[in-house]
């Protein structure tokens, strides 16, 4: 079934600095003129205080009479159930959240254009934390980056590396005793599976929402502050995601991280929106590969096909405008003018879907690609190349 690519608004909470304003000039005030302006206020305040005192006395006397007349009345008990403070049963949302919350963090950013907050989660106990690139990028160029933990403690953080195309970043704090979350297998996720989103929407840290996986392989593009766009082969969920949730974990019904919350749907008029039941998360398998590369080398790679696409083409599929000499597509025998209709057994409706399908794979992986050429279908095996992310 053809899917329309969604344009997502990053779920990052940003507060701009107020515009500076010059103080209005004022004439110097003499002590006498100041007193003349103040004495009516003083008198009014005294009158109000007197009136309040009289009213308080009357009310106090009245209360005293009422109290004395009801001292001997019997108190009617209201039934109340006894609360259960014991740990919740394994597998319940409450039990999963209790185990996950200590590993979820708020990320506080101060940058040249103001402050903001996002979310993240601890991947390794020795201080490595995963979040979105669009959360941390505003701290560059002289800004600051701070992580706040569930217990209220804070630590300065530094960016280890980031991948703009996948909208993933890894930051590190000087700690070696952190509770971690475990990545799940996003390829095993099915529509209808339970989801739990944890983060700091609008700065409200430790906020938990729940829902289900409402769609898979949703092609989503999300803008970055630097003008670039990330292409996400997203997990769609109806768990409420709002600005500030960016970078936080999307958990499955066992408490494993199946995605990193990254974007929410925008309205047709382009206005910013809160949760309307359409949130998008980067699949955990993509997060795992990119984060591992960043932690090991400080950089990461993107899979490439070695083609330039014709963005003006409006037909079904993705039309190849140019083939990079010696690249993966050229080696597989693809030609300019070929229209990609299937990639790795996934139907392709447009250029965005092809880019997202490529990004859902790894460099060096061989996939079947079907193109329409001169009215006939041609299928080739293409080994994806690698490019710095």
How many other C-beta atoms can be found within 10 angstroms of the C-beta atom of residue 201? 25
Q: Transcribe 95-162 into DSSP letters.
A: HHHHHHGGGEEEEEEEETTEEEEEEEEEEETTTEEEE-HHHHGGGTTT-EEEEE-TTS-EEEEEEEEE
Question: Do 275 and 144 contact (CB within 8 A), yes or no?
Answer: no
310 included as an active-site residue: no
Phi (first) and psi of residue 129, to 5 degrees: -130, 135
* Partners of 372 in the β-ladder: 339, 377
Token pair 């790795």 is found at 344
Active-site residue, 246 included: yes
Separation between Cα atoms, residue 167 and residue 147, nearest integer Å: 19
Catalytic residue selected from 134, 139, 205, 284:
134
Burial class from Cβ neighbours inside 10 Å (0-12, 13-18, 19+) for residue 79 reads exposed
- Output phi, psi for 219, to 5 deg: -75, 115
The question of whether 14 is a catalytic residue gets the answer: no
- Of 103, 139, 167, 238, the active-site residue reads 167
Residues paired with residue 231 on neighbouring β-strands, in sequence order: 221
Q: What whole-number distance in Å separates Cα of residue 372 and Cα of residue 318?
A: 10
List the catalytic residue out of 246, 262, 351, 360: 246
> C-alpha 204: how far from its chain's center?
13
Residues tagged active-site: 134, 167, 246
């Amino acid at each position: 079934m053809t899917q329309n690519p969604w344009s997502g608004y990053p779920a990052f909470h940003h507060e701009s600095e107020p515009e500076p304003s010059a103080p209005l000039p004022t004439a110097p005030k003499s002590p006498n003129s100041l007193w003349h302006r103040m004495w009516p206020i003083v008198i009014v305040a005294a009158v109000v205080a007197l009136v309040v005192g009289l009213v308080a006395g009357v009310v106090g006397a009245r209360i005293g009479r009422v109290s004395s007349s009801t001292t001997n009345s019997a108190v009617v008990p209201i039934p109340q159930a006894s609360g259960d403070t014991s740990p919740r049963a394994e597998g319940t949302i409450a039990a999963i959240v209790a185990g996950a919350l200590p590993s979820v963090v708020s990320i506080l950013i101060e940058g040249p254009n103001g402050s903001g907050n996002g979310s993240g989660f601890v991947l390794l106990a020795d201080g490595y934390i995963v979040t979105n690139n669009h959360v941390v990028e505003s701290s560059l160029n002289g800004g600051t980056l701070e992580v706040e933990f569930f217990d209220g403690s804070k630590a300065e953080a530094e960016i280890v590396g980031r991948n703009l195309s996948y909208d993933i970043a890894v930051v590190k704090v000087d700690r070696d005793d952190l509770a971690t979350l475990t990545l799940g297998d996003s390829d095993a996720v099915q529509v209808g599976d339970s989801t739990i989103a944890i983060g700091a929407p609008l700065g409200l840290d430790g906020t938990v929402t729940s829902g289900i996986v409402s769609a898979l392989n949703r092609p989503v593009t999300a803008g970055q502050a630097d003008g670039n766009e990330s292409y996400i082969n997203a997990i769609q969920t109806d768990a409420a995601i709002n600005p500030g949730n960016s970078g936080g974990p999307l958990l499955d019904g066992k408490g494993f991280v199946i995605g990193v919350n990254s974007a929410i749907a925008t309205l047709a008029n382009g206005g910013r929106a809160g949760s309307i039941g359409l949130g998008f998360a980067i699949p955990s398998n993509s997060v795992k590969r990119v984060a591992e590369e960043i932690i090991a080398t400080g950089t990461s790679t993107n899979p490439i096909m070695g083609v330039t696409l014709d963005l003006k083409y409006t037909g079904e599929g993705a039309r190849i405008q140019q083939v990079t000499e010696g690249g993966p597509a050229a080696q597989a025998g693809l030609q300019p003018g070929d229209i990609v209709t299937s990639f790795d057994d996934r139907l392709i409706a447009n250029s965005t879907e092809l880019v997202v399908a490529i990004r859902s794979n790894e460099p060096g992986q061989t996939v079947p690609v079907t193109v329409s050429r001169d009215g006939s279908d041609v299928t080739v095996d293409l080994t994806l190349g690698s490019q710095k992310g």
